[in-house]
Amino acid sequence: GDYDLYSLGRDGQEGGEGMDADIGNWQK
C-alpha cells in the first residue's frame, strides 16, 4: 500500500534499525 517516505525508513515498514528505522526512532 501507500506510505509516507518521510515518516518510515527506506524499507517502508514501521520499526527497523539504522537507515530502515522509523523517523521517530532515529530522530530522538
**DSSP-assigned letter for residue 12:** -
**Rounded to a whole number, what is the largest CA-CA distance in the chain?**
27
Per-residue model confidence (pLDDT) at position 26: 46
Whether the pLDDT of residue 2 is over 60: the answer is yes
Tell me the domain boundaries of the chain: 1-28
Model confidence at 24, pLDDT cuts 50, 70, 90, reads low
Per-residue model confidence (pLDDT) at position 23: 58
Question: What is the per-residue pLDDT across 11-21, written as a single tens digit (0 to 9) for each?
Answer: 655 555 665 55
**3-state class (DSSP) for residue 14:** coil
Mean pLDDT for all residues in the chain: 57
